[in-house]
């Protein structure tokens, strides 16, 4: 992938959709965990959380896919986006400083993800003091 200033990650337990973009270009990548987990439902009177462990290799691959981006937005349903941020904070502090937002989102299309990210970064750019 070529280097773009902005990147957005949409992530859940079964895939990560990564987009590097500028005003006119979008490059995309889809990553999957080695052993994808399925939703685990709790049963009454059962001991234990039955929460599947996060796939650290998957999270590392996702983090590595945005290593060249200067500003990163992370979106997705449930807790995998939070697991990704925790993984980055533990293993790559420099990348953590480039995460400008973490938002919940349902299951949008690829074009909806990119459109949202472009809108998000346009607003963030207006709120950020410009360097001379």
User: Is the residue at 80 inside a domain?
Assistant: yes
Our count of domains for the chain comes to 1
Determine, yes or no, domain membership for 104. yes
Classify residue 85: in a domain, yes or no: yes
Residue 93 belongs to domain with CATH number: 3.30.420.60
For the stretch 61-113, pLDDT in tens is 999 999 999 999 999 998 999 999 999 999 998 999 999 999 999 999 999 99
Task: Please check whether residue 36 lies inside any domain of the structure.
Answer: no
Question: Domain for residue 43, yes or no?
Answer: no
Segments forming the whole domain that contains residue 13: 6-24+54-127
Query: Confidence band (pLDDT; 50, 70, 90) for 127?
Result: low
Q: What is the pLDDT of residue 38?
A: 47
94 in any annotated domain: yes
- Tally Cβ neighbours within 10 Å of residue 42: 9
C-alpha 14/C-alpha 38 separation (Å) is 8
Asked whether residue 38 is domain-assigned, the answer is: no
- Residue 24 CA to residue 32 CA, distance in Å, equals 27
Report if residue 29 sits inside a domain.
no
Instruction: Determine how β-strand 99-104 pairs with β-strand 26-31.
Output: unpaired
Which of the pair, 52 or 32, is modelled with greater confidence?
A: 32
**Both structure tokens of 100:** 């400008």
Structure tokens at 76: 């997705």
């Amino acid at each position: 992938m070529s280097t773009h200033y902005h990147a957005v990650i949409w992530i859940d337990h079964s895939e990560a959709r990564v987009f590097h973009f500028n005003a006119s270009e979008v490059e995309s990548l889809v990553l999957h965990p080695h052993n994808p987990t399925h939703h685990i439902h709790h049963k009454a009177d059962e001991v234990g959380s039955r929460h599947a462990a996060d796939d650290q290799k998957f999270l590392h691959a996702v983090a590595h896919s945005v290593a060249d981006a200067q500003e990163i937005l992370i979106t997705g349903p449930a807790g995998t986006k939070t697991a990704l941020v925790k993984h980055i904070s533990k293993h790559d502090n420099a990348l953590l400083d480039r995460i400008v937002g973490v938002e919940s989102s349902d299951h949008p299309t690829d074009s909806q993800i990119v459109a949202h990210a472009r809108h998000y970064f346009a607003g963030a750019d207006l709120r950020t003091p410009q360097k001379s």
